[in-house]
């Protein structure tokens, strides 16, 4: 299978830029894809391909990466809005989750996949349960995912929980021709005691996989951990050995200077979730400071129950604007930083090392945006328009692993109407009785 995209503008973070801001920008360019790889980018004429796409008025960029979500929770969108996090979890979400079946999760994940594909996301990191259903949905959809079982020991036996996650990790890591990776997913230090976190870190190190965890999301969480253990959540995670392996830490809103130092020294990837943090009143993460310290910050939406959508373009724009506003500095979080967070940093956070930038030899994961739009005209600066002006409705085409996933706005791998039908017949079962 080969695809030739002709006469397109290319915008892409450059992988050689470290944590800097270099962005590739080329106009009137051709992209030649053979199999699952990009084999050429340039102005030369390439051989005819099985599929030829006219790139006139289109912009090609690597697929967006959602570095933290709970994909199933599209089924809970709008449930318990305008509540603080602890009340939202304890009184609405956790009681509803107790009613879940594996089939519910399967269809909830499929709904999230429809939404993410439509808004340009080609890879996502997910933490939940009934995760084999997520594997099934991702395989069908054709995009990438880093999946982990959410581990909350509470009254359960540690060994049983670890065995369940270990079996999942070993069975599915590298599945779907490498489109699916796995991690261990201890929920957070406030739900996972230090001894359990230590056991998880050891298993992850043995298996050569990463860890996906929530850290320092609210001030209450930090205060509770200090009172109980005399440590911040980040300090607890570091002492437990989590940072000895690849770690993806969601939120990191309330950090001390020592926390930031530990994250930087541990090479931790942080998933910034600005809209969820704002909606739940959790605060604003010190992202400019983390970036300045060399911490690779990616972007996530969190679950649709606390956002309430999975649109990473919105998340990118919110991140860029939020930090300018709260710091009263319009030079912070420039467009190239925001783009890098939404794409390359996210791909690396999930462990997909040959995606996240458009270059010869990389996997052919990309999206095409239609720039013949009123809100994208005139075209003073393509990168600026992507970050500050574009919307999900501008996404026209998606290619993942060299395969057309969406063409002219139509998803080719999932039946949207079937997904909507299944969701609409299920959600009323979770209403309060």
Q: What is the residue-wise DSSP string for 141-210?
A: HT-EEEEEEEE--TTS-HHHHHHHHHHHHHHHTTBTTTTEEEEEEE--TTTS-HHHHHHHHHHHHHHT-E
Whether the pLDDT of residue 183 is over 90: the answer is: yes
Please state, as a whole number, how many other Cβ atoms lie within 10 Å of the Cβ of residue 262: 19
Residue 389, pLDDT score: 98
Phi then psi for 419, rounded to 5 degrees?
-65, -45
228 pLDDT band, cuts 50/70/90, is very high
On whether both 304 and 395 belong to a single domain, the answer is no
13 — pLDDT class (breaks 50, 70, 90): very high
Residue 209 falls inside a structural domain: yes
> How many residues in total does the chain contain?
433
Distance of CA 172 to the CA centre of its chain: 19
Q: How confident is the model at residue 230, as a pLDDT?
A: 98
158: containing domain: 64-350
Contact 214, 197 (CB under 8 A): no
What's the CATH code of the domain at 126? Answer: 3.20.20.140
Q: Binning pLDDT at 50, 70 and 90, where does residue 12 land?
A: very high
Residue 19 has pLDDT above 60, yes or no: no
20, pLDDT greater than 60: no
Confidence of residue 97 (pLDDT cuts 50, 70, 90): confident
Residue 45 predicted with pLDDT over 90: no
Distance in Å from the first CA to the final CA of the chain: 53
Backbone torsion region of residue 206, taken as left when φ is above 0, otherwise alpha when ψ lies between -120 and 50, otherwise beta: alpha
Q: What percent of the chain has pLDDT over 70?
A: 97
What CATH number does the domain containing 392 carry? Answer: 2.30.40.10
For the stretch 244-273, pLDDT in tens is 999 999 999 999 999 999 999 999 999 999
Residue 334 Rama label (left phi>0; alpha psi -120 to 50; beta):
beta
Same-domain check for residues 10 and 57: yes
- Helical residues (DSSP H) of 173-270, grouped into ranges: 194-207, 219-229, 233-239, 257-265
What pLDDT sits at residue 48? 83
43-57, 134-148, 414-428 — which one is most confidently predicted on average?
134-148
Q: How many domains does the chain have?
A: 2
Residues 119 and 237 in one domain: yes
* pLDDT average, residue stretch 414-430: 91
CB-based contact 64:77 (threshold 8 Å)? no
Residue 433 confidence class, pLDDT cut points 50, 70, 90: very low
Residue of 221, 151, 236 lying closest to 187 (CA atoms):
151
Of 350, 376, 394, which residue is a domain's last?
350
CB 111 within 8 A of CB 74: yes
Mean pLDDT of the chain: 94
Q: Are 355 and 144 in contact (CB under 8 A)?
A: yes
């Amino acid at each position: 299978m080969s695809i030739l995209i002709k006469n397109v503008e290319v915008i892409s973070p450059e992988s050689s830029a470290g944590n800097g801001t270099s962005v590739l920008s080329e106009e009137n360019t051709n992209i030649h894809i053979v199999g699952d790889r990009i084999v050429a980018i340039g102005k030369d004429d390439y051989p005819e391909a099985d599929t030829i796409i006219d790139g006139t008025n289109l912009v090609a960029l690597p697929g967006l990466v959602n570095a933290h979500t709970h994909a199933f929770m599209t089924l809970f969108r709008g449930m318990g809005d305008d509540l603080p996090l602890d009340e939202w979890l304890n009184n609405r979400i956790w009681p509803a989750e107790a009613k879940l079946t594996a089939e519910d999760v399967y269809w909830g994940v499929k709904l999230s996949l429809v939404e993410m594909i439509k808004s340009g996301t080609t890879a996502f990191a997910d933490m939940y349960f009934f995760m084999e259903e997520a594997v099934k949905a991702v395989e069908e959809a054709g995009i990438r995912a880093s999946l982990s079982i959410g581990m909350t020991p509470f009254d359960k036996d540690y060994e049983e929980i670890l065995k369940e996650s270990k079996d999942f990790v070993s069975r599915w890591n590298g599945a779907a021709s490498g489109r699916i990776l796995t991690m261990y997913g201890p929920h957070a230090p406030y739900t996972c005691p230090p001894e359990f976190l230590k056991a998880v870190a050891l298993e992850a190190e043995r298996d050569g996989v990463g860890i996906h965890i929530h850290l320092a999301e609210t001030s209450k969480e930090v205060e509770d951990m200090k009172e109980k253990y005399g440590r911040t959540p980040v300090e607890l995670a570091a002492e437990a050995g989590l940072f000895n392996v690849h770690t993806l830490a969601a939120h990191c809103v309330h950090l001390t200077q020592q926390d930031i130092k530990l994250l930087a020294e541990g090479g931790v990837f942080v998933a910034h979730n600005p809209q969820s943090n704002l909606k739940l009143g959790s605060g604003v993460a010190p992202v400019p400071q983390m970036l300045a310290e060399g911490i690779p910050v990616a972007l996530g939406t969190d679950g649709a129950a606390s956002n309430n959508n999975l649109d990473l373009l919105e998340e990118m724009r919110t991140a860029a604007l939020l930090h300018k506003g709260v710091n009263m500095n319009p030079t912070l979080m420039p467009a190239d930083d925001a783009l890098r967070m939404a794409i390359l940093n996210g791909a690396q956070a999930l462990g997909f090392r040959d995606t996240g930038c458009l270059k010869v030899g990389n996997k052919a994961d990309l999206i095409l945006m239609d720039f013949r739009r009123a809100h994208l005209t005139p075209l003073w600066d393509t990168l600026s328009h992507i970050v500050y002006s574009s919307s999900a409705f501008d996404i026209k085409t998606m290619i993942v692993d060299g395969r057309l996933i969406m063409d002219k706005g139509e998803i080719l791998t999932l039946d949207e109407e079937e997904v909507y039908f299944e969701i609409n017949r299920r959600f009323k079962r979770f209403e309060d009785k």
